[in-house]
Amino acid sequence: MDRGYTTVFRTSRGALRRAAVIAAAAVAALTACQPEDLPADDVPASAVPGASATASPSASQPAAPDGERSLVDAVEAGGLRKQTGDGAVGDVPVDPGEMRDGMRLVVSNFAGPDGGDPVLFEGVDNVPEDTNKRREHLFRGMLEYIEWDPELGQPQARPVADPGPLGGSVECLMASLAENGQVICGWADESTAAVALFPDSTLDEAGKLFVAMRGDLER
């Protein structure tokens, strides 16, 4: 082998040895400096056990809204029993308004142990718009259901003094020219709206019973 080539080969091998020594020293220096030696603010997220690259919730899994409530198809409400068989509601008597995905419609007849005309209940949950407006829609629908004569004027809803532990707004209106007669009550809160028709009652009696029924029909 020519000497010139031998010299070049030896020189290259010597340079590689020196580079290896320098690299080993650098690795040793980096190994000695662990993340725990860094200030807390400088520790990378990947060095913290259980750390995630994204701390915010995924857009596909939003957190449940505060105050979200839903209706229950209860077998008993306010001491009244849901009617089944011939006494059950056969269809939807009152237009509930626009129903979108995720909304629930509950329609039931409830009656006391002594019989009598049942209380018709209809409500919706997960209401996307102002629930007060949805309640007004249900009020109008219930007046149409009982064939209220518009020439008699528009009955004015009055707030119930105690809406109960569920809060929100509870109102009742007298759909009769007498002190006793058909009373329509309705509630509206963060996400639900509902009405009920009390066939032979007073504003005070119907309001109290409606609040009691609500405690069994909403969660």
The DSSP H or E segment spanning 109 is strand 105-112
Q: Are residues 126 and 26 in the same domain?
A: no
Cα 169 from Cα 161, distance rounded (Å)? 10
Helix, strand, or coil (residue 49): coil
Please give the residue range of the domain that contains residue 85. Answer: 76-217
pLDDT of residue 147: 95
Question: Does residue 161 lie within any of the structural domains?
Answer: yes
Question: Does residue 68 lie within any of the structural domains?
Answer: no
Number of independent structural domains in the chain: 2
Question: Does residue 131 lie within any of the structural domains?
Answer: yes
Q: Are residues 84 and 152 in the same domain?
A: yes
Question: Does residue 56 lie within any of the structural domains?
Answer: no
pTM greater than the 0.85 cutoff? no
Q: What are phi and psi of 88, to 5 degrees?
A: -75, 155
CATH code for the domain in which residue 133 is found: 3.40.1000
pLDDT of residue 67: 59
Q: Where are the alpha helices (DSSP H) in 118-202?
A: 131-145
pLDDT of residue 214: 98
Question: What's CA 84's distance to the chain center, in Å?
Answer: 29
Q: Are residues 201 and 99 in the same domain?
A: yes
Q: Which stretches of the chain score pLDDT less than 50?
A: 1-66
* Other beta carbons within 10 Å of 17: 10
Q: Are residues 100 and 207 in the same domain?
A: yes
Question: Does residue 113 lie within any of the structural domains?
Answer: yes
